[in-house]
Amino acid sequence: MQAFKDKCEDMLTNDDLIRYGRQILYTGFGEEGQERLKQSHVVVAGLGGLGCSAALYLTCAGIGHITLVDCDRVEPSNLNRQVLHYEQDIGERKVFSAARKLAQLNSSVEVTPVFKKVTERNARGLIKGASLVVDGMDNFRARFILNKACVSEGIPFIHGGVHGLFGEVTTILPRRTPCLACIFPELPQRRGAFPVFGVTPALVAVLQATEAIKLLAGFGRLLTGKMLYFNGETMEFTLCNLVRNPNCQVCRTGEV
């Protein structure tokens, strides 16, 4: 009986068919693709510039369940790029500020705010059972922790990074494509505040959300084994092939 109830909850309602009608029209996606999004659970790690825009578009698209993970509170200097936080939210925990806006945008999406710092100790527990994880972190130390947890749990990890007007995106399928530790053998060093315009994380996050939608619904070609670089000064996109490191400390063991 429970299985039947769960199945019914995964099916599209009349409201869904209206709301998502324009994307359901897309060849290769259709109602089946929409149902797959509804059955999905995405973890957005970090509710800064990347995480806000990614969560916004994933909520628009009708992902069934979104977990938001962040340990910071909204500051005035966030407002040039973190589009789910407004002036009246300054001082509030970002996960709650973001969850409130997402609920207003699409009340049919289940949003779970988690006010926690991602650590070696808790990372696997935070992402367990997720369909995929979107990287909205602002530092590589946290990204490496998430990358390792995603490889351990076998969960796809969609990496995005920004600096100034430059950005990068890749989709990592554990033990099938290069992981973050294969790509960056050493932890990239960066201290303190770095320059960033709001448009850069918005663009990169929308590319991450695009990857998430395709991966979950099962169509299109993914940025697997490839890094897409964006140069906002010249408006050039560059696609580079990535290779797995056979000696990678993270994804080497248990190779398939």
Residues found near Zn ion in the complex (CB under 5 A): 179, 181-182, 248, 250-251
Residue 49 C-beta: closest distance to Zn ion, Å: 26
Question: Nearer to Zn ion by C-beta: 63 or 145?
Answer: 145
Residue with Cβ nearer Zn ion (142 or 181): 181
Please report how close the Cβ of residue 135 comes to Zn ion at its closest, in angstroms: 15
Q: How far is the CB of 44 from Zn ion (least distance, A)?
A: 23
Q: Smallest distance from the beta carbon of 177 to Zn ion, in angstroms?
A: 9
In sequence order, the β-bridge partners of residue 133 are 43, 157
Q: Which residues on neighbouring strands pair with residue 172, listed in sequence order? A: 157
Other beta carbons within 10 Å of 116: 14
Strands 236-241 and 226-231: antiparallel
- The string over 229-249, giving b where at least 16 C-beta atoms fall within 10 Å of a residue's C-beta and e elsewhere, is ebeeeeeeeeeeebebbeebe
Q: Which is nearer to Zn ion, 131 or 177 (CB)?
A: 177
Given the complex with Zn ion, which of 65 and 244 has the nearer CB atom? 244
Nearest C-alpha neighbor of 57 from the set 218, 216, 220: 216
Smallest distance from Zn ion to CB 211, Å: 19
User: How many Å apart are CA 220 and CA 97, to the nearest integer?
Assistant: 33
Nearer to Zn ion, 225 or 232 (CB): 225
Q: What residues have CB less than 8 Å from 131, skipping those under 6 apart?
A: 40, 41, 42, 155, 156, 216
Report the alpha-carbon distance of residue 68 to residue 33 in Å, rounded. Answer: 23
